[in-house]
Structure 1
């Protein structure tokens, strides 16, 4: 997601455009509407696909190409919802399919001094955010057969461990030498910084859409000049691309690969 238009600090309703007509484009459009934005236009790989997505996105206009949408002068924010290999020519998570391209995009975003975010949306689940501040060493392995978009994070310390499982996101596992426990998402017990991401009462599960909506709202807040804590930027996207490159190198060499900081 990129800020591309006028200075919107005093704008109550941001004008957004969406490039991409598939599933993730629908997710972005839903989150944009919930955040109070106007969907000014949509563009797809062909004008015909954009026209088919026009009604579903509740967009005001169909643009013949991404270039026409970007250069229209009608946008404050651009949502890039294209296949991964096209992100480098427009941008998003993964920013690109290799680290060099992702690093270049992050550098250009920094030079522009505009808001540029990447949707690492499970940062916005209250239970994942509860782990925030824990520091550990990460090992990355191949996706397990049968798992569907699983994100499993565990930090193992000498005295205690903590784990978050995206497939069971309402609980956080805490392990200690004297025993283990499951911490259940409950607005009555969450810390104040985390509480604002807990949008439902305990017992009503929050998931991907809720996280994406919160990510979009925080991105728009950043466009307006706020500084939401933990908002993932293109720098985070470039770091993820570096990790992916290291995973591929490990698979090729059948050895451990250390991921060096930028």
Structure 2
């Protein structure tokens, strides 16, 4: 397949999106910001596909997913469909020679995610998963400070990801049923982001964990539910640091509260996704709030800062930074910290470890390397 790539000055990357919901709109905006062209959209039906194509500004609506994946004028496939379809669509895309951006979870089984990561590597395709919280500049600032030893030896972690969109028994969504969302909901949906951020910033992996889950409502919208609402996890990292993780989609008033706090022998660092312009730094003697500023930031943080200090950056900016790195990688670059299908596989491994531990009443479970 011949790919036109903006990053190398050879032309425009031609994108196709599977799905027409919120995430499809986010992908569309980021792809355009990266210099891509949205050629086609496909959804569950031809009529909804046409509406999505009109709303997203695509040149056409394909009649089905496979028609989009195999189209000759598509270079990269964006998969924004229900979780249970991800692995199949990603497999077709890779086998068709396309680059792939697949929403998490990459697959609802770790074995399928492993197969996809291996296939992407063997085909030489760029295959990415949008763990986009890596692209907040202050996350990169925290990561750089950990790597250069400012924090000292990591001792403990206090982390959470809290939302409230499933607080009521009338709140319903396709994700609550394993047939479409997979065996895990709260952890696979948002806990995966939290664990990816922990390992990315700390520079070390979670070695073992003990998990408990809770399903508050057995039915939502009059239909049975078979996935969890809340997950509490104890973790131990490779260096022996201990941590607590709370993941909930039923925390009233919390809309997207991802919080990462790392305690070291020299410093504590705290990042809150709902306050992305800040990094709290604490020591024994004092504490201070570091505000985003490209003039004083570490290089990997500064490269993601498109506007001066005092001009707020947020979620879409982070997604745009991610997409710019994906499209640059298609052009042959090797961007620092790009989340790939290997990271999608890692997330699937962690999800299976959490479910296994919870099924065994919180038994400590080793996480496969």
**TM-score normalized by structure 1?**
0.91
- Unaligned runs of 5+ residues in structure 2 are 91-101, 148-201, 205-236, 238-242
- 2:36 aligns with 37
Name the counterpart of 2:26: 27
CA RMSD of aligned residues (A): 1.8
Distance 1:241 1:149, change over 3 A: farther
Residue 356 of structure 2 is matched in structure 1 by 249
Instruction: Quote the offset at 1:139 in angstroms.
Output: 4.3
- Contact 2:18–2:42 (CA under 8 A) maintained in structure 1: yes
Task: State yes or no: 1:121 paired with 2:132.
Answer: yes
State the alpha-carbon separation in 2 of the partners of residues 27 and 141 from structure 1. 27
Report deviation, 1:151.
1.9
Deviation at 1:259, TM superposition (A): 4.5
Contact 1:249 1:257 in 2 (8 A): no
Q: Is the 8 A contact 2:350 2:367 kept in 1?
A: no
Check the 8 A contact 1:17/1:40 in 2, yes or no: yes
Provide closer, same or farther for how the CA distance between residues 88 and 202 of structure 1 changes in structure 2, counting only shifts above 3 A.
same
Counterpart in the other structure of 2:118: 107
> 2:349 & 2:24 partners in 1: Cα distance?
26
Matched, 1:97 2:108: yes
* Equivalence for 1:69: 68
Does structure 1 retain, via aligned residues, the 8 Å contact 2:62–2:68?
yes
1:81 equivalent in structure 2: 80
Deviation at 1:254, TM superposition (A): 2.8
Greater mean alpha carbon deviation, residues 172-181 or residues 118-127: 172-181
**Counterpart check, 1:142 vs 2:138:** no
SS in 2 for 1:167: coil
**Gap change, CA 1:57 and 1:172, over 3 Å in 2:** same
Equivalent residue of 1:163, what SS? strand
Which one has a larger percent strand, Structure 1 or Structure 2?
2
Corresponding residue SS for 2:78: strand
CA distance in 1, matches of 2:51, 2:139: 36
Q: Which runs of 5+ in 1 are unaligned?
A: none
**1:220 match: secondary structure:** helix
**TM-score, with length taken from structure 2:** 0.66
1:151 is matched with 258
Aligned counterparts of 1:152 and 1:253: Cα–Cα separation in 2: 28
Separation in 1 of the partners of 2:12 and 2:358?
47
Q: Take 1:261 and 1:183, find their aligned partners in 2: how far apart are those partners?
A: 36
Distance 1:216 1:203, change over 3 A: same
Aligned residues: 258
Quick check: 1:141–1:247 contact (8 Å CA) kept in 2?
no
Equivalence map 1:13-24=2 (5 Å): 13-24=12-23
Secondary structure of 2:333 counterpart: coil
Structure 1 residue runs of 4 or more that deviate by more than 4 Å after TM superposition = none
- Give the Cα–Cα distance (whole angstroms) in 2 for the partners of residues 50 and 140 of structure 1: 39
Q: What CA distance in whole angstroms lies between the structure 1 residues aligned with 2:291 and 2:324?
A: 25
CA pair 96-257 structure 1, distance change in 2 beyond 3 A: farther
Deviates more, 1:246-255 or 1:106-115: 246-255
Once residues 244 and 121 of structure 2 are traced to their aligned partners in structure 1, the CA distance between those partners, rounded to angstroms, is 29
CA distance in 1, matches of 2:324, 2:366: 32
Indicate the SS of the match to 1:105.
helix
**Structure-2 residue corresponding to 1:171:** 278
Rate the CA distance shift 1:259–1:120 in 2: closer, same or farther, 3 A: farther
